[in-house]
Amino acid sequence: MSYLFWLAIAWLGYFLLHSALASLAVKTFVAKRWPQLMPKYRILFNIIAVLLLLVPLGLMLGWSGPLI
pLDDT along the chain (68 residues), means of 10: 88 96 95 94 94 93 77
Q: Residue 30 falls within a domain, yes or no? A: yes
Q: Residue 42 falls within a domain, yes or no? A: yes
* Number of neighbours of residue 30 by Cβ within 10 angstroms: 16
Q: Residue 67 falls within a domain, yes or no? A: no
Q: State residue 68's pLDDT score.
A: 67
Structural domain span for residue 16: 3-62
Q: Residue 68 falls within a domain, yes or no? A: no
What is the number of domains present in the chain? Answer: 1
Q: Residue 36 falls within a domain, yes or no? A: yes
Q: State residue 39's pLDDT score.
A: 93
Q: Residue 35 falls within a domain, yes or no? A: yes
CA distances from residue 43 to 22, 31, 66 in whole angstroms, order as listed: 12, 15, 37
User: What is the value of pTM for the model shown?
Assistant: 0.79
